[in-house]
A = this chain, B = another copy of it.
Amino acid sequence: MDPVSQTSEEEIVDTPDADHLGKMIREARLKKGWTLEEAGKAAGIGRSTLSKIENNQTRPSFDIVRRLTKALELRTPQLFVQSGPSDISGRRDVTLAGQGEPQDTPTYFHELLCTELTSKRMFPYISTIKARDVSEFESWIRHRGEEFMYVISGELTFFTEHYKPLPMKAGDSVYYDSGMGHGCVSTSKEDAKVLWVSLE
A-to-B contact residues, CB < 8 Å: 3-4, 6, 21, 59-66, 69-70, 75-80, 82, 84, 88-98, 113-114, 117, 120-122, 124, 144-146, 148, 150, 152, 160-164, 166, 169-177, 179-180, 195, 197, 199-200
- Report copies per complex: 2
**Contact pick for A97, options B78, B161, B172, B199, CB 8 Å:** B172
B residues near A113, Cβ cutoff 8 Å = 148, 150, 173, 175
**Contact pick for A89, options B88, B89, B177, B197, CB 8 Å:** B177
Contact yes or no, A122 B122, CB < 8 A: yes
Contact yes or no, B59 A148, CB < 8 A: no
Known pairs A62-B65, A66-B82; A163 contacts B114 (CB<8 A): no
| Whole-angstrom CA separation of A145 from B121 in the bound complex | 10
Contact yes or no, B97 A171, CB < 8 A: yes
A87 to chain B, nearest CB (A): 8
Contact yes or no, B92 A163, CB < 8 A: yes
Nearest-CB residue, chain B, relative to A171: B97
| Whole-angstrom CA separation of A114 from B152 in the bound complex | 16
Nearest-CB residue, chain B, relative to A199: B122
B residues near A176, Cβ cutoff 8 Å = 88, 91-93
Contact yes or no, A121 B199, CB < 8 A: yes
Contact yes or no, B77 A77, CB < 8 A: yes
Contact yes or no, A166 B4, CB < 8 A: yes
